[in-house]
């Protein structure tokens, strides 16, 4: 039977690249999305055109019933859940002194509550020998100004990953996080001037941004047989930024 991967936030950016890469690796893919059905359908169409199997499943990762339905629809279609890649997230740039409580709550709801719900279902439903992978961020290590809410939410993601890796004892299921550096996604590029982007490129020793495909390769490693002995870790994929 073909193994199956759920990828949340799969309609664009790192999630899209990951869904396409895992399909290339031989997984059937359930591509979750929140609102962009057209882009999610494009991901599914690309996988099917290449000979793979895929479905798109709408759902808010911060809503328990939506997360339960995501896993139920995947199991109904493909019979199993072997890999879960939780990529969904939102970004807020706001200094802590601004006191944007509503913005903070939105970030925590999607990034941390959403991770808790997806990992909770994954812990119950991933097949023995499977993989659970969550996306964090190098911002947890670099803590730049205005990223307080985002860094806080993703630090919580890393804590959940390390904790769950211990709770999965005896099932041969690994739980890890991938923490990208600055990557050329819509979420990262939005609202940044060319001057700022040029400045940011210089912060790391590689003097460039990462590409979504490069992050997807790291996820592929953790999801595949070569990553079987990596567990409870945060893999920082950032060109040496931190």
User: Domain segments of the chain: what residues?
Assistant: 4-183+212-234
How many whole angstroms separate alpha carbon 127 and alpha carbon 33? 23
Alpha helices (runs of H) in the chain, residue ranges in sequence order: 13-24, 37-49, 64-78, 101-107, 114-125, 139-142, 148-167, 186-189, 194-201, 212-223
Question: What pairs with residue 236 in β-bridges?
Answer: 179
Q: Which fold has domain 4-183+212-234?
A: Rossmann fold (3.40.50)
Contact 58, 34 (CB under 8 A): yes
For the stretch 121-160, pLDDT in tens is 999 999 999 999 999 999 999 999 999 999 999 999 999 9
pLDDT above 90: residue 81: yes
Phi and psi at 36, nearest 5°, equal -95, 75
Mean pLDDT to the nearest integer, 88-117 = 97
Asked about 147 being catalytic, the answer comes back as no
Whose structure tokens read 């001037």?
193
Whose structure tokens read 């994954």?
122
How many whole angstroms separate alpha carbon 63 and alpha carbon 37? 18
For residue 187, the model assigns a pLDDT of 79
Higher pLDDT, 204 or 109: 109
For residue 169, the model assigns a pLDDT of 97
For residue 68, the model assigns a pLDDT of 98
pLDDT above 90: residue 52: yes
Q: Is 36 exposed, middle or buried (CB count within 10 Å of its CB: 0-12, 13-18, 19+)?
A: middle
Q: Which of 104, 147, 150, 209 is catalytic?
A: 150
The overall average pLDDT reported for the chain is 95
């Amino acid at each position: 039977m073909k193994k199956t991967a759920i990828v949340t936030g799969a309609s664009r950016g790192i999630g899209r690249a990951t869904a396409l890469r895992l399909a290339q690796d031989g997984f059937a893919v359930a591509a979750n999305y929140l609102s962009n059905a057209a882009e999610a359908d494009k991901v599914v169409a690309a996988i099917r055109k290449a000979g793979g199997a895929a479905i798109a499943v709408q759902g808010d990762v911060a809503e328990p019933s939506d997360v339960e339905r995501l896993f139920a629809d995947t199991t109904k279609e493909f019979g199993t859940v072997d890999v879960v890649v939780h990529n969904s997230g939102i970004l807020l740039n706001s200094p802590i002194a601004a006191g944007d409580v509503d913005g903070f709550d939105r970030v925590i709801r999607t990034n941390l509550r959403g991770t808790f719900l997806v990992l909770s279902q994954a812990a119950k439903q991933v097949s023995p020998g499977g993989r659970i992978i969550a996306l964090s961020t190098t911002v947890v290590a670099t803590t730049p100004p205005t990223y307080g809410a985002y860094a806080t939410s993703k630090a919580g993601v890393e804590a959940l990953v390390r904790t769950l890796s211990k709770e999965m004892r005896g099932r041969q299921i690994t739980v890890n996080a991938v923490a990208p550096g600055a990557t050329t996604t819509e979420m990262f590029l939005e609202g940044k001037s060319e001057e700022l982007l040029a400045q940011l490129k210089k912060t790391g020793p590689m003097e460039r941004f990462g590409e979504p495909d490069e992050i997807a390769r790291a996820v592929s490693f953790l999801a595949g047989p070569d990553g079987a002995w990596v567990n409870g870790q945060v893999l920082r994929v950032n060109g040496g930024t931190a």
